[in-house]
Chain A
Amino acid sequence: MRRGAVHWGLLALFSDGPKYGYQLRTELDTRTGGMWTLNVGQVYTTLERLHRDGLVDTVGQNDEGRTMYAMTEHGQAALAEWFATPVTGAERSRSELAMKLAIAVTTPHADVTGIVQAQRVESMRQMRDYTDLRRRADPEKEPAWMLMLDHLMFALESELRWLDHIEATVLRRRRAAGSPAPAPADRRPVAEQPPAGGKR
């Protein structure tokens, strides 16, 4: 059965021994560089499912009276399989941006190049902010955080290339169809930095 990232992430935390529920929340946060901050409800719901599916089992209580869980053999086998199975692209293609642009290019009069440019500005802003965070991160002490930031930055880089590609394709089609490029009035120069909020 397909399970989400959180399901597998929480199961993997049991690799180094028994844990109690709240502990999972803090550990997932730390080990993914703060990218998956779950609320307590999400942690316990997922833990219940792991238990129900026989992937973890209760192993008594700790000194503070908290119920401890440990990975079962079945859980270890499932985790090994998860690690060994590449992630497929099905989820990646279902982003809101992909949806927005797929719809826009087939909607009459939609301003595709405008959408692309607005996204480019936003993505570049994010790239700058992640670059800041990455420069401040300590590769020795925060390897997971660095890995997550690299992940986000590579994704943004590929998104920006994809936006360039869409724009070039749309402009090429427009030229081939003989329609004029947007009038200069639509592209007023922005004389200075926009006000807070960063909108055009």
Chain B
Amino acid sequence: MRLVRLRDASRPRITLTLEGQAIEAQQGDTLLTALLAGNAGHLRDSEFGDGHRAGFCLMGACQDCWVVVEGVGRVRACATLAAQGMEVRRG
């Protein structure tokens, strides 16, 4: 899945990492936006072997966008703002 930036797309840049790989994002991005607009493709894998997941409701209800932020713990990517230097792992 790739989120496409259609509006407000020239904000100051930030950099974070996903599994050690650099991801370019923009100030004001949620983690979900930062990762999925930054070619991460997906956020987590189903525990039941039925494939990748990349969130679903974007309103903090479905719990299918969990990722792990170093030093913070498990968060919902849709409800967490991305910040410069964040180290993220798939959830």
* Bound together: no
A interface list, Cβ under 8 A from B: none
